[in-house]
Chain A
Amino acid sequence: MSDKVLKIRSLKVIFPTERGIIKAVEGIDFEVSKGECVALVGESGCGKSVSSLAFMKLLTTPPAIIDTRVHEFDGKDISNYTDKQMKEIVGTEMTMIFQDALSALNPVIKVGRQIDEIYIKKLGYSKADAKAASIEILRLVGVPSPAKRYHDYPHQLSGGMRQRALIGMSFASNPKMMIADEPTTALDVTIESQILKLLKDLQRKNGMALVLITHDLSVVKRTADRVYVMYSGKIVEEGPTDQVFNNPRHPYTKGLINSMPKIGKTKEEFTQIPDNVPHPLNKPEGCYFKPRCSNHDPEICKLHMPAFENLSEYRSVRCWNPIEDAGGE
């Protein structure tokens, strides 16, 4: 058996709207192995959150239309799973946490009860056992005086505590894979590093696969083993984190890295990528990144979308004119 926990080939998600068809995700390949932390990086609107929902088959269809050639989870082909079959693995074997824990937790139900739900409804615990287990999981994720916090409502906890509780909830069933969609965006930096550390610890503890969806490269650099860079619905670069950071081959990746704020960087050194992500209803001809690219070839980039080509065993890039190999791999 392969140790691939999730294997996706050619995932496409489109949303038909009155003004045209929005191609949110245009055929991405994605995989994550046991014990691996993979990041999916990109600007807002590039399709990373939609992809992550599609990984768990949580998009509502209609309106979304989804097509995947391969969708395997834990060695099983789940591409044709019904809603009912999915409910057996979603929430237990594959779980998800969201950006804003305040809105992700139900405001009128006690935090502890929301964790209980996993134990009672999904794992068949009795009420009393579920309560004990929930308190234990709150302790595990570092919530102080968990027995007391169990009875709190979400608005009574601090932002960091809420995110911890949410992580605890998705960790309660010892999942094989956890998707964290911008888990630290709503938090301040000190809490951010605590939460990232917690996620890594939990991941190591039971060899879970962790998928980190984020736009924050510093988070990726600190946490992920491997990274996918996504732009306007397509993966543009893939590779081990340190290689991608030290030796970016796609101009977009390089642009993202250069625009990272860093202590000691002067204003002149701090560059940004001009313009914005193209509107999904109005994507440019040829390479989607071409209008913003400083490195583009006026002929070929304008006409054709480049293929996603392997550079080495672990690296791939989608560019006609990749940045030269800086070596040092």
Chain B
Amino acid sequence: MKIDYVIKRILHTVLIFLAVITLNFFIPRIGVDDPAERYYPPQLGSMTDEEYDEIKALTREQYGFDKSNLAQYAEYVKRLFSGDLGNSFQPGRPKVMEMILERLPWTLVLSVSTMVISAFFGITYGTFAANQRGRLADTALLASSTVLTALPSFIIALILSMVLGFGLGIFPCYADSEMMTSFDWSLAEIGNVLYNAALPIISMRIGGIVGYAVSTRNSVIVVSSDDYILTARAKGLSNSRILYSHTLTNYLLPIVTRFMMGLSGLIGGAVVIEKVFNWNGMGTLFINANLNSDYPLMMGVMLFLSSIALLANLTADLLYFVLDPRVQDGGRR
């Protein structure tokens, strides 16, 4: 019964993954843009229409666009399972996989640290606010949460970069583009990365902290009024024992979901933030791929982002399985 659940979740994930591959392939092709035209704009050459058509046809053949969509799809899937994401349309036709792997760490630096920081501060403050229910710490949280969660992170980013970056000059408004090519794991370089990452992380995490704090506060309050907490109190257990072994184990469940879903959301959010701060990660890569109708690169980035989201969801499901014994029985009762 236990293994059933795990296998079911994994199969489920695999099915969604197949759907993702398919959507990834067809979504860029919905656009009317002709990639061949993109690389050889008509006004640049002084060639005749026939010559131009010939070049476009050659380009299509070279990029594999002359075949039917289904044939291209079959080839794409075949290559995908041998670990090949194809080559970008960019000059020099670099491998998509290599381009992504080069940028991925920079995006992970932003999103993982944002996630950990916001979860840590949010959960801590939320627990505190729940214990201070109705007092200043609590009402301030609830009052500010509406504004801060409604405010898109790129607005916060613009304000921060204006005030802290441009105005006061404490942090750089733009990420140092040299940083990413010269990175060598020395302490100075790590410090430099953190210095450059400060504003993007702060602007992404503000809403996140408040979100975590509010949902933690609410689940602590709900769990605290559960009957088993009264039982724990009637057992004369110490307050910290009640908090850590009875309250925490139960309120962590919704937090786990939030954390994992937050990961997929953050990577999406990073796309915009990276653009604002000129951070050379997956987001910037994705925007440029779109602007250039670089199908293979678009597909590759989307595949990576959706795989991360899928893995995060699977991890959340499996963590639930570990944390909540009721799930192990298939949630039948």
Contact = CB atoms under 8 A, between A and B. Distances in A.
Interface of A: 56, 58, 86-92, 95-96, 98, 100, 103-110, 117-118, 121-122, 153, 155-156, 166, 169-170
B228 A105 contact: yes
Contact of A58 (B230, B237, B323, B326): B230
Interface of B: 226-228, 230-238, 241, 245-246, 249-250, 323-326, 329, 333
16 contacts: A86-B236, A87-B238, A90-B236, A98-B230, A104-B231, A106-B232, A107-B324, A107-B326, A108-B249, A109-B245, A117-B237, A117-B241, A121-B238, A122-B236, A166-B231, A170-B235
A154 to B, nearest CB: 9
B327 to A, nearest CB: 10
Contact of A155 (B228, B230, B333): B333
A155 to B, nearest CB: 5
Contacts of B232: 106
B228 A103 contact: yes
A26 to B, nearest CB: 23
Given A106-B246, A108-B323, A153-B325, A87 B236 contact: yes
Given A107-B228, A122-B236, 6 more contacts: A87-B238, A91-B237, A92-B236, A104-B231, A155-B325, A156-B329
B318 to A, nearest CB: 16
B230 A117 contact: no
A121 B237 contact: yes
Contacts of A90: 233-236
B186 to A, nearest CB: 45
A-B pairs with lowest CB-CB distance, top 7 = A91-B236, A90-B236, A91-B235, A103-B227, A153-B325, A96-B234, A106-B228
A49 to B, nearest CB: 11
B232 to A, nearest CB: 7
Contacts of A110: 325
A87 B238 CA distance: 7
A196 B185 CA distance: 70
B234 A117 contact: no
A88 to B, nearest CB: 7
Most chain B beta-carbon contacts within 10 A, residue among A90, A104, A118: A104
Nearest to A60: B233
A169 B235 contact: yes
B250 A107 contact: yes
A107 B237 CA distance: 17
Contacts of B246: 106, 109
Given A105-B228, A107-B326, A117 B249 contact: no
Contacts of A155: 325-326, 329, 333
A92 B237 CA distance: 10
Contacts of A86: 236
B324 to A, nearest CB: 6
Given A103-B228, A153-B326, A155-B329, A109 B235 contact: no
Contacts of A105: 228, 231
A323 to B, nearest CB: 38
Contacts of B238: 87, 121
A34 B148 CA distance: 60
Contacts of A107: 228, 250, 324-326
A75 B325 CA distance: 44
B230 to A, nearest CB: 7
Contacts of A87: 236-238
Contacts of B249: 106, 108-109
B234 A58 contact: yes
Contacts of A117: 235, 237, 241, 245
Contacts of B250: 106-108
A166 B235 CA distance: 11
Nearest to A108: B249
Nearest to A118: B235
Given A90-B234, A122-B236, A104 B227 contact: yes
Given A98-B227, A103-B227, A108 B324 contact: yes
A188 B55 CA distance: 84
A110 B249 CA distance: 12
Contacts of B234: 56, 58, 90-91, 95-96, 98, 170
Most chain A beta-carbon contacts within 10 A, residue among B237, B238, B241: B237
Most chain B beta-carbon contacts within 10 A, residue among A86, A89, A90, A110: A90
B230 A104 contact: yes
Most chain B beta-carbon contacts within 10 A, residue among A87, A108, A118, A170: A108
A215 B246 CA distance: 30
A92 B235 CA distance: 7
Most chain A beta-carbon contacts within 10 A, residue among B235, B237, B323: B235
Contacts of B241: 117, 121
A91 B227 CA distance: 15
Contacts of A58: 230, 233-234
Most chain A beta-carbon contacts within 10 A, residue among B231, B237, B329, B333: B231
A211 B227 CA distance: 19
B231 A89 contact: no
Most chain A beta-carbon contacts within 10 A, residue among B230, B234, B241, B329: B234
Contacts of A56: 234
A121 B242 CA distance: 11
Most chain B beta-carbon contacts within 10 A, residue among A90, A106, A117, A122: A106
A156 B235 CA distance: 22
